[in-house]
């Protein structure tokens, strides 16, 4: 069922390989082609996210106004989104598109270097008459620029640490690219303040991504390295387009600051009300007075004596 996607990706790699005759360059060209296809979604999601941020003051007011009525709040939120033509799920589009692409590329690159019973490659997903198949068939390595793209960096460093150093440098370079990309995004964040936990997560996220790549085929590491370079260029373009002097990003930043001020004012009012309630004197409660024996009750009648049989109970 899914073979058609795998075969299409393998055909694309073979097409570029037929042009350039180099595995890494062919994979890099596929990476660039995929990023070019996803770029419109990225720009659309960025614009949608900034438009959502620009509505934060209005959203905060609605949350304060309908705090006790969740259903009414959701209705008012939907009206606000429709009025400004905003899709709250738009920012998820690039991520949703990237997940199946990763699965396809992982499956294809692993299938191209699938080994048969004799320990040599038995390429999958491409016809036998293609240039890529013929170059890999009965081979034991997928060599490109001195690296075996068929093994993972962990395997290469485990077999021979000295020969595995280029693979380690590749991972370090990829982690550096992830870090640069993350810093570019963080520098223009519309919510400048974040919790210490969020700051720690953002700080170590590039390291986590780089460590994850150690256990993937080196061909896929090369694919992601080209994507990381492309994203850095893409983020630079987004910064120039949306974060100029009168850009949507600047408006979103100002709206975010305004929304935080509204939130602080609301918190201060709530705290003040709670303090006033605590300091308010408690209402005086009248104590019930039980008349003594044979003493007149408030109605003027003497209290009824207690029978001897009930006095000791």
Over residues 255-307, the pLDDT tens digits come to 777 777 776 666 556 666 666 666 656 555 555 555 555 555 555 555 555 56
pLDDT in tens, 206-237: 778 888 899 999 999 999 999 999 999 999 99
Residue 29 falls inside a structural domain = yes
pLDDT at 194 over 60: no
What pLDDT, on the 0 to 100 scale, is given for residue 296?
Answer: 56
Mean pLDDT of 8-24: 95
pLDDT in tens, 71-130: 888 888 888 888 888 877 776 777 787 889 999 999 999 999 999 888 899 999 999 999
What pLDDT, on the 0 to 100 scale, is given for residue 310?
Answer: 54
Residue 284 falls inside a structural domain = no
Q: What is the average pLDDT value for the chain, to the nearest integer?
A: 81
Mean pLDDT of 39-62: 84
What sign has the CA pseudo-torsion 121, 122, 124, 126? positive
Residue 112 falls inside a structural domain = yes
What pLDDT, on the 0 to 100 scale, is given for residue 288?
Answer: 57
CA distance 15 to 9: 10
The fraction of the chain above a pLDDT of 70, given in percent, is 78
Residue 100 CB partners (closer than 8 Å, separation 6+)? 5
Q: What are residue 111's phi and psi, to 5 degrees?
A: -70, -35
Residue 232 falls inside a structural domain = yes
CA distance 310 to 313: 5
pLDDT in tens, 132-170: 999 999 899 999 999 999 999 999 998 888 889 999 999
Q: What are residue 121's phi and psi, to 5 degrees?
A: -70, 140
236: left (phi > 0), else alpha (psi -120 to 50), else beta? alpha
pLDDT at 69 over 60: yes
What pLDDT, on the 0 to 100 scale, is given for residue 217?
Answer: 94
The fraction of the chain above a pLDDT of 90, given in percent, is 39
pLDDT at 201 over 80: no
Q: Over the range 188-224, which residues count as b (16 or more CB within 10 Å of their CB) and which as e? A: bebeeeeeeeeeeeeeeebeebbeebbebbbbbbbbb
What pLDDT, on the 0 to 100 scale, is given for residue 34?
Answer: 94
- Confidence category of residue 53, pLDDT binned at 50, 70, 90: confident
What pLDDT, on the 0 to 100 scale, is given for residue 265?
Answer: 60
Mean pLDDT of 231-256: 81
What pLDDT, on the 0 to 100 scale, is given for residue 206?
Answer: 76
pTM for the predicted model, two decimal places:
0.76
Residue 159 falls inside a structural domain = yes
Residue 306 falls inside a structural domain = no
Mean pLDDT of 240-262: 74
Domain that holds residue 17: 3-267
pLDDT at 62 over 80: yes
Residue 7 falls inside a structural domain = yes
What pLDDT, on the 0 to 100 scale, is given for residue 123?
Answer: 93
Residue 250 falls inside a structural domain = yes
Transcribe 82-106 into DSSP letters.
HHHT--TTGGGHHHHHHHHHHHHHH
Check: CB of residue 49 under 8 Å from CB of residue 91: yes
What pLDDT, on the 0 to 100 scale, is given for residue 129?
Answer: 92
Number of domains, the chain: 1
Helix axes 23-54, 3-20, angle to 10 degrees: 120
């Amino acid at each position: 069922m899914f073979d058609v996607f795998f075969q299409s990706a393998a055909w694309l790699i073979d097409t570029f390989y037929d042009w350039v005759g180099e595995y890494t360059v062919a994979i890099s060209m596929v990476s660039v082609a995929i990023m070019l296809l996803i770029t419109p979604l990225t720009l659309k999601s960025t614009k949608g996210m900034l438009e959502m941020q620009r509505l934060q003051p209005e959203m905060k007011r609605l949350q304060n106004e309908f705090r006790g009525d969740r259903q009414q709040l959701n209705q008012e939120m939907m009206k606000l989104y429709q009025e400004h033509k905003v899709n709250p799920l738009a920012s998820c589009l690039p991520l949703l598109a990237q997940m199946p692409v990763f699965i396809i590329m992982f499956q294809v690159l692993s299938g191209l270097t699938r080994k048969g019973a004799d320990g040599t490659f038995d390429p999958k997903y491409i016809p036998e008459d293609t240039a890529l198949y013929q170059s890999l068939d009965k081979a034991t390595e997928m060599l490109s620029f001195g690296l075996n793209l068929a093994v993972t960096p962990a395997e290469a460093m485990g077999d021979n640490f000295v020969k595995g150093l280029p693979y380690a440098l590749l991972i370090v370079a990829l982690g550096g690219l992830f870090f640069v990309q993350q810093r570019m995004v963080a520098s223009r964040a519309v919510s400048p303040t974040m919790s210490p936990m969020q700051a720690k997560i953002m700080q170590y996220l590039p390291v986590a991504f780089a460590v994850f790549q150690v256990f993937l085929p080196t061909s896929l590491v090369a694919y992601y390295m080209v994507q990381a370079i492309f994203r850095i260029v893409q983020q630079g373009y987004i910064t120039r387009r949306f974060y100029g002097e009168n850009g949507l990003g600047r408006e979103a930043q100002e709206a975010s600051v305004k929304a935080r001020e509204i939130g602080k004012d609301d918190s201060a009012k709530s705290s003040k009300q709670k303090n006033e309630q605590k300091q308010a004197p408690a209402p005086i409660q009248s104590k019930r007075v039980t008349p003594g024996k044979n003493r007149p009750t408030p109605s003027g009648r003497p209290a009824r004596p207690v029978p001897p049989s009930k006095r000791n109970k």
